[in-house]
Amino acid sequence: MLTNEIREAFSAFGRKGEISSVEQLTAGLINATYIVTTDAGEKYILQKINTFVFKNPDGLMHNIVGVTKHLSEKIEKAGGNPARETLKFIPCEDGKYWHKDAEGGAWRMYVYVDRAHTYNKAESADTLRSAGKSFGRFMKLLADYPADTLYETIVNFHNTPSRYRDFLEAVEKDTAGRRAEVEKEIAFVTAREADTHRLTDLLAKGELPLRVTHNDTKLNNVLFDDELDESICVIDLDTIMPGLSLYDFGDSIRSGANSAKEDETDLEKIYVDLDLFAGYTDGYLSETAESLNDKEIENLAFGAKLMTFECGMRFLTDYLNGDVYFRTAYEGHNLVRARNQFRLIETMEENMDKMEAIVMDCKAKYTK
């Protein structure tokens, strides 16, 4: 699918050789992502940034380039291999890390990490344990990153009360004329209004610390080595911003401990898989138990529920708005995703005690 648009964007990065093939990756719901192979056998990821979502590509790339350089130095010092353990972005010939095409589209490019794969759905608790370690280590490596130099790439990204207001506005406006069809789902959300501000209240009271977090820790945002099947590299760095550890932990559970895919339609197949939950929690706390405070530990399981709630509410909001934000493959896709997340929440509510007990066991295992 080599288009003129792709050829033109690729050439802005001044790499040698001609494009020999292009493959589109469609697992991400926001940007347009292509694997580009050259006749010299080099492989890159070329991405068209979704500027409806990311309005300031300069700020976005400033964050990503700064963070990946920092990670790269730390990985090198620790005796690791930065070429496989973090992303390497390529500047354009003018030194900038993104290219504006003739239509105003924004493109960036990085080196493709070879011999690696992702999971859209976890196969075992080991997969999640490994992902948990990577995301835990990621937060640790960024603990000394100057948070005040980071742009807020999406304002109020995980501010759940603000997401809730956006949801109410979408219900009120009913732009796509779909409200009548989703009264049940709307009631599911409004019944849980009190949850929306629990973490932001603790943050305001100073009981939860702001950290440099990833904020989009979906299972398919970590690469696994083909040979070892171990997670090696955290990707999709667009939302690195100051945030709560609970957002990162929570979103990983939302996506990784779901017994089914995010858009499974058969609600009976959807539940929080406690083995997968335990695997992730074990991996994550093996890296972070010493640095998280008691309030964070206490709220990990709730964070999983809250991130599932927020995401489900965002899918429903987008459905009400006429599918303007998330990439959809068919009419009603966002509603399917919302119902899926709401079913997952019900099973988390039923299992909250068990999830909390697993967290405490893992904490005991990794603290003296």
Applying CB under 5 A, the residues found at the interface with Mg ion are 28, 221, 236
The answer to whether residue 239 forms part of the interface with ligand GN1 (CB under 6 A) is: yes
Nearer to ligand GN1, 196 or 239 (CB): 239
The answer to whether residue 306 forms part of the interface with ligand GN1 (CB under 6 A) is: no
| Cβ neighbours, 10 Å, residue 61 | 23
- What's the rounded Cα separation, in Å, for the pair 218 and 120? 9
Out of 9, 12, 19, 29, the only residue in the binding site for ligand GN1 (CB under 6 A) is 29
Nearer to ligand GN1, 74 or 334 (CB): 334
CA 5 to chain centre: 27
Pick from 209, 213, 206, 197: which is nearest to 252 by CA? Answer: 213
User: Considering CB distances under 5 to 8 angstroms, the limit depending on partner class, which of Mg ion, ligand GN1, none binds residue 30?
Assistant: ligand GN1
Please, what is the Cα angle at 253 between 260 and 364, to 5 degrees? 135
- What's the rounded Cα separation, in Å, for the pair 297 and 157? 22
The answer to whether residue 28 forms part of the interface with ligand GN1 (CB under 6 A) is: yes
Q: Least CB distance from residue 155 to ligand GN1, whole Å?
A: 12
The answer to whether residue 262 forms part of the interface with ligand GN1 (CB under 6 A) is: yes
Return the range that interacts with ligand GN1 (CB under 6 A); candidates 81-89, 197-205, 236-244, 265-273: 236-244
349, amino acid identity:
E
Nearer to ligand GN1, 2 or 35 (CB): 35
Nearer to ligand GN1, 325 or 366 (CB): 325
Exposure of 129 in the CB half-sphere (CA atoms within 13 A): 10
- What's the rounded Cα separation, in Å, for the pair 36 and 43? 6
| Closest CB to ligand GN1: residue number | 29
- What's the rounded Cα separation, in Å, for the pair 29 and 27? 6
Out of 311, 313, 338, 344, the only residue in the binding site for ligand GN1 (CB under 6 A) is 311
CA distances from 201 to 239, 262, 266 (A): 22, 29, 36
Nearer to Mg ion, 111 or 168 (CB): 111
Beta-carbon contacts of residue 352 (< 8 Å; ≥ 6 apart): 301, 302, 305
Q: Least CB distance from residue 268 to ligand GN1, whole Å?
A: 21
The answer to whether residue 203 forms part of the interface with ligand GN1 (CB under 6 A) is: no
The answer to whether residue 304 forms part of the interface with ligand GN1 (CB under 6 A) is: no
* Residues numbered 77-136 forming contacts with ligand GN1, rule: CB under 6 A: none
Beta-carbon contacts of residue 103 (< 8 Å; ≥ 6 apart): none
Nearer to Mg ion, 298 or 310 (CB): 310
User: Considering CB distances under 5 to 8 angstroms, the limit depending on partner class, which of Mg ion, ligand GN1, none binds residue 311?
Assistant: ligand GN1
Nearer to ligand GN1, 28 or 82 (CB): 28
Q: Least CB distance from residue 93 to ligand GN1, whole Å?
A: 28
User: Which DSSP letter does residue 329 get?
Assistant: S
Output the six-digit token pair for 258: 């779901």
The answer to whether residue 217 forms part of the interface with ligand GN1 (CB under 6 A) is: no
Phi, psi (deg, nearest 5) at residue 35 = -90, 120
Out of 60, 107, 134, 236, the only residue in the binding site for ligand GN1 (CB under 6 A) is 236
Specify which residues 108 forms β-bridges with: 47
The answer to whether residue 30 forms part of the interface with ligand GN1 (CB under 6 A) is: yes
Pick from 47, 27, 23, 26: which is nearest to 35 by CA? Answer: 23
88, amino acid identity:
K
The answer to whether residue 359 forms part of the interface with ligand GN1 (CB under 6 A) is: no
Nearer to ligand GN1, 27 or 364 (CB): 27
**Longest CA span, the chain:** 59
Q: What's the Rg (C-alpha) of the chain?
A: 20
Nearer to Mg ion, 49 or 362 (CB): 49
Q: How many residues bind ligand GN1 (CB under 6 A)?
A: 12
Give residues in contact with ligand GN1 (CB under 6 A): 28-30, 53, 216, 218, 221, 236, 238-239, 262, 311
